[in-house]
Each structure stands twice: as C-alpha cells, then as structure tokens.
A and B are shown apart, each in its own frame.
Chain A
Amino acid sequence: MIAALAALLVFQLLGEIVVGASGVPVPGPVAGMLFLFLVLRARGSLPPSLKTVSETLLSNLPLLFVPAGVGIIQHFSLLSREWLAILLALLVSTFLSLGATAVVMQTLARVLRRKGARG
C-alpha cells in the first residue's frame, strides 16, 4: 500500500525532474505516467498493491477536482460580465469535440476492422 503510493509519487517526481531538465513542454505527471507505463510493459505484470491504490485513486477522481472548482468564487465578477460568451463557448465546444472525436474514431476503427477481416 505504502510502496504503491510511493511508486506513484516517485514516478511523478521523476517526470517533473526529466521535464524540468529537458524543457520538453509536457507536464510532469504526464511524463510520470508514461514512465510508469513503460516500466510496467518491461516488467510484464502489475503488482496487486499498485492496482488497488490506483483503482482507489481513480474511482474517486471527481473529488480531486473539487478544491480547484471552488475557486469559482474568485471569478464571480468576470463571470457575471462574460457569462453568456463563456457558457456558450463551453457548451458548443464540448458538444463539437465530443462528437467529432467519437465519430472519427468509430468510423476509422470500423474501416480498419473491415480491411483487416478482408486481408
């Protein structure tokens, strides 16, 4: 349990160090995720404690967004001035990007599968 938690933190730290030293414009935790993935692939198996800890963290993911979200109280004046532009921007772009991603991916996956079945 502690070992698994330490592993997550150490990989994040490693990510931060590599990103900081190389100047690659990738966030530290994302680099850490990549490193952990590569190590797991090289190992070929997933330690059970790491599975448990990551499942616990990921199943409570929404909680982790609450503190930043409460920050809305700092921006009431800007939001009250521009709420319509912001609301419509969020609505339209969320709809379009969700739809575009899903349609492109499913269509292409089906084309590939048909090709694979034929060849």
Chain B
Amino acid sequence: MDKTITQIWVYLSASPLLWLSVTLLVYLAGNWIFEKSGRRALLNPVGVSIALLVVLLLGGGIPYRTYFNGAQFVHFLLGPATVALAIPLFQHWERVRVLLLPLALGLTIGSATAVLSAMGVAWVLGGSRATLLSLAPKSVTTPIAMGIAEKIGGIPSLTAVLVILTGILGALLGPPLLSFLRISEDEAKGFALGVASHGIGTARAFQISGVAGAFSGLAIGLNGILMAVLIPVFARLLGL
C-alpha cells in the first residue's frame, strides 16, 4: 500500500498536473478567504495564495522549478491577458481621447517618480547594485518588467517578486491614499492605480468601476512602453 502511494507521489510530483491544480485550488481558497473577510484588502487573494503556496513548498521541500513547471500554464496567460486590455480600452476610447494630455503628463511624472524614488530610497539605505537594478521596473507589469531587468543587469525573478509586492501594496494603500488626496474621478483613480501598481492595481480598479478598470489597463500598456525605453537610459545615466 505504502509503495503504491509513493509511486503515485513520484509520478505526480514530476508532472505539471499537480502544481497546476494546487495553484488553482489555493487561489480559490484565497478568494474564499477574501470574500469571507468582507473583502479586506490585507487578505487579497494574490497575497494569501502566494503565502499559502510558499508554506506548502517549503514544508514539502519542493524546489521552485518543480512548482513552476506546473504553474507556468497560469503564468503564460499573462501574455493574452495583456492583449485583452485592448478591449476595455476600445470600449472607453471616447473618454480616453479627450484626456490624452492629462494622461500623458500623469504617466510621465508618475512613472518617473516610481523608478527614481524606489532606486533612491534603496540606494540611501545601502541596497546592493543588483537590488537597485531589480527595483527599477517594479511598477511595470510582470512580463515587461522581467525583460527590462534582464536588459539592465538586474535579477528578473527578483523583479517579478518586487513587481507583485508593489502591486499588493498599491491595491492595499491606493484607495485610502486616493480618498485622502480627494481624488474623486474614476479616470484618475484607475490610471494612478495602473501606473503605480500594474495589473494588481487594475484588478482593484475594476472593483471601483469599469471606467477605472479601463484607465488602469491603459496605464499598464503605456507605462510598459515608456519604461521599456526609459529605464535603460536612467540606469546608464546613474552609472549603474
């Protein structure tokens, strides 16, 4: 009996099926906890799911590579999901069109602030070169941020983690900060959430309204394009 269980385990732990299923189940559990808690931002499904999976992997002594071998099918969908952001953009284009100038200026100032303040604070506190370079693209959506980090000599997988932490922080602190600053328009709320905290901010923005979500999705794409061009220049100017 024990032998069969071991055999099944050996088979399963080598196939992508196990960790793909576990990722989906843990996320469902994370969603359930989020709903049960009355949608407390601290218990957001991403943060809770990651924490649960980390505990599972560490407890079971499972290497990340084995886990990712299964979870990569979920990760892959980030690409098509980015393409899908064209749809809310198309639906709300009339609102976007009249706001092009405020959008361009908000994006430029907001994203430059994100990069320079993150690198500046880490530099003052003695962050290593690898940390500084991995931090630079942390407000950009995961696949783009990893590409930028690789290009400038950061650690792409560390960048992915920093991107997600940024997303969780933005979704958590964004709405109270926006109401403190008396930001009343959904367009500005959504766009700011997208510029500062990419897709996780966008998921939060869609909870505010469809318009906020569309502007947030727009911010992800624009921020990705702008930062892919500017961050390598910043890094060179700072002599990193």
Chain A contacts to B: CB under 8 angstroms: 5, 8-9, 11-12, 15, 25-30, 32-34, 36-37, 40-41, 46, 50-51, 53-55, 57-59, 61-75, 78, 82, 84-86, 88-106, 108-109, 112
Bound form: Cα–Cα A65–B48 in Å: 12
CB-based contact A99/B177 at 8 Å:
yes
Chain B residues near A59 (CB-CB < 8 A): 206
Bound form: Cα–Cα A52–B59 in Å: 39
| Binding site secondary structure of chain A | helix
CB-based contact B50/A69 at 8 Å:
yes
Chain B contacts to A: CB under 8 angstroms: 23-24, 26-27, 44-46, 49-50, 53-54, 57-58, 64, 67-68, 71-72, 74-75, 77-91, 93, 98-99, 101-103, 105-107, 109-111, 113-115, 117-119, 121-122, 125-128, 130-131, 135, 138-139, 142-144, 147, 155, 157-158, 160-167, 169-170, 173-174, 177-178, 181, 183-185, 187-189, 191-193, 195-197, 199-200, 202-203, 206, 213, 217, 219, 221, 224-225, 228-229, 232
Query: What are 24 A-B interface contacts by the 8 Å CB criterion?
Result: A33-B84, A46-B87, A46-B91, A54-B87, A64-B81, A66-B74, A67-B67, A68-B161, A70-B67, A72-B161, A73-B64, A75-B157, A75-B161, A84-B125, A94-B173, A97-B196, A98-B174, A101-B113, A102-B106, A102-B183, A104-B102, A105-B103, A105-B105, A112-B102
CB-based contact B79/A34 at 8 Å:
no
CB-based contact B128/A82 at 8 Å:
yes
**Neighbour of A101 across the interface among B77, B83, B106, B125, CB < 8 A:** B106
**Neighbour of B185 across the interface among A57, A70, A109, CB < 8 A:** A109
Bound form: Cα–Cα A34–B200 in Å: 21
CB-based contact A12/B80 at 8 Å:
yes
Known: A94-B173, A103-B183. A66 touches B46 (CB 8 A): yes
Which residue of the partner chain A has the closest CB to B89?
A: A37
CB-based contact B195/A67 at 8 Å:
no
**Neighbour of A102 across the interface among B71, B139, B188, B224, CB < 8 A:** B188
Bound form: Cα–Cα A12–B82 in Å: 9
Chain B residues near A33 (CB-CB < 8 A): 82-86, 89, 221
Which residue of the partner chain A has the closest CB to B106?
A: A105
